[in-house]
Amino acid sequence: MSEAAFGYEQVYADLGPPTDSRHLQMIARWVEYTAGETTRRLGSIVRSGAELSGQKYRRQAERIIAQVLDEAASSALAEGQPVLEAAAETVITRQVLAQVCGLGPLQALLDEPDIENINCNGTQVWVRYSDGRREQRPSIFVSADELIALVRRIAAESATGERRFDPGAPILDMPLPGGERMNAIMEIAREPAVSIRRHRYRSTTLAALEQTGTLDSTLTALLRAAVGARRNMVVTGGTGAGKTTLLRAIAAEIPPQERLVTIEDVFELGLDQDTDAHPDCVALQARPANIEGAGEITVADLVRTALRMSPDRVIVGETRGHETVPLLNAMSQGNDGSLTTLHASDSAGAFTKLAAYAAQSAERLPLEATAVLIASAVHFVVHISATPGGHRRVTSVREVVGAEGGRVTSNEIYRRRLDGTALPAAVPSPDTIDALTAAGFDLDRLRDGADACRWSI
């Protein structure tokens, strides 16, 4: 068999350690051949009318891979050549399955639990671990075209509907089967690039974050009371600071009898999947236009829809555009206790960002009206910071107290350095004191935590 006879004896014999480049090239050729043959045979089965989906598709692929390798071994024996060793067949089978049924070469990286982010710049691969370390890994793509082909296949098989990834639609943002979030670009960059973000904690609590050092006991009690008092909160922070994880932990304090509606660009929160904590939860996801350019559903559309679904609280995964005014309206019209995240460098920067987004919305509110809307909708801004080493800590809680002209006025009632050292903080307003006290919070905890000496007034 000329196609399969790649020289079995060359796979392991006299090639040195497993990382030898010739060894890897040989395995790659076998993977390429086996994957191509498996895809061809699977296509024939599908075209014949057989229903293959999910696990059925995978089991059929496993059978075909074994068949292809058995045929190759029989041909090699007939020609008097050595056959592949069992270890080589195992590697080939795993990689072919990943290409045919999974996420191709990316699957091996996603299988490593300590990897938090994966970034592919053309054929270069960089990963960031959960402890903050960054590392360049060996290339897993022969060419940039191979990366594009893989992304197109993943997009075509999306559970949320076929997505485009081509020169006419060069930006792709979608969830992966494991819950990770993938962003891919082509044409608008020198080389195609793929970024995959994963969340270490699909479910978490304030107590769990306190154990990791993200919160202290005072802040845990404060946030718990804020949820009980139905305060609207905006969680701010930079990229990768842990905003979504903190939002999940805050949401875990919501009583299970309340009805939640979550709204996201791409499903990440997963609150609806925790049926013990949130048995009455509807998860909504925005939808891009289809390949004909029709059918787009925006986050702003979903916020307006959510208000008709009788929610006790509305939770928006991230506020970053036209949905800002509808969300602020929702927060100020009886849906107290709602939550969202926002990219900002500090807690005070949240107001500037919200005002800028509101100015871009269809309502085109003037600055003074925007400030009044923010002041009536947002009660607290909770800021989480991250060190270069990957450690996360909530460093600020800011209470919104009103609006003056085009400016939102606020008090920073909780302040910490990244090392956890307490800083003097402002005295909460009487309304906030009453609300938190009624929810069971001991105000002395804030007073004692503010440098254990005094509040700044």
DSSP result, 277-336: T-SSEEEEE-B---TTS---B-HHHHHHHHTTS--SEEEES---STTHHHHHHHHTTT-T
Strands 392-404 and 407-415, how do they pair? antiparallel
Percent of the chain with pLDDT strictly greater than 90 = 33
Identify which of 381, 394, 389 has the alpha carbon closest to the alpha carbon of residue 423: 394
pLDDT at 5: 38
Asked if the model's pLDDT at residue 89 lies above 90, the reply is no
Cα–Cα distance measured from residue 29 to residue 35, given in angstroms and rounded to the nearest whole number:
10
| Rg for the chain, CA atoms, rounded | 27
Residues 112-140 have pLDDT tens digits of 888 889 999 998 999 988 777 889 998 88
pLDDT at 10: 39
pLDDT at 201: 55
DSSP letter (8 states) at residue 264: E
E strands, 149-200, are: 171-175, 181-185, 193-197
| Other C-beta atoms lying within 10 Å of the C-beta of residue 28 | 13
Instruction: Supply 379's token pair.
Output: 């009660």
pLDDT at 59: 83
Cα–Cα distance measured from residue 409 to residue 374, given in angstroms and rounded to the nearest whole number:
10
- Confidence class for position 453, pLDDT limits 50, 70, 90: very low
Residues 37-70 have pLDDT tens digits of 887 787 677 667 666 555 676 788 889 999 999 9
Q: What are phi and psi of 226, to 5 degrees?
A: -65, -40
- Identify the residue with better confidence: 185 or 198: 185
- Identify the residue with better confidence: 8 or 135: 135
pLDDT at 425: 86
The residue written with tokens 């009103």 in the block is 402
Asked if the model's pLDDT at residue 449 lies above 60, the reply is no
Asked if the model's pLDDT at residue 9 lies above 50, the reply is no
Strands 115-121 and 339-343, how do they pair? unpaired
Residues 418-437 have pLDDT tens digits of 888 888 888 899 999 999 99
Residues 290-329 have pLDDT tens digits of 666 677 888 888 888 888 898 999 999 888 878 888 888 8
pLDDT at 95: 81
125 in helix, strand or coil?
Answer: strand
Least confident of 207-211, 404-408, 434-438: 404-408
pLDDT at 40: 77
pLDDT at 18: 47
pLDDT at 51: 63
Least confident of 80-94, 224-238, 393-407, 412-426: 80-94
Please, how many CA atoms are within 13 Å of residue 339, restricted to the half-sphere of its CB?
27
- Identify the residue with better confidence: 209 or 85: 209
Mean pLDDT rounded to a whole number for the chain: 82
pLDDT at 154: 80
- Side-by-side strand order, sheet with 281-285: 281-285, 260-264, 313-316, 339-343, 233-237, 380-386, 392-404, 407-415
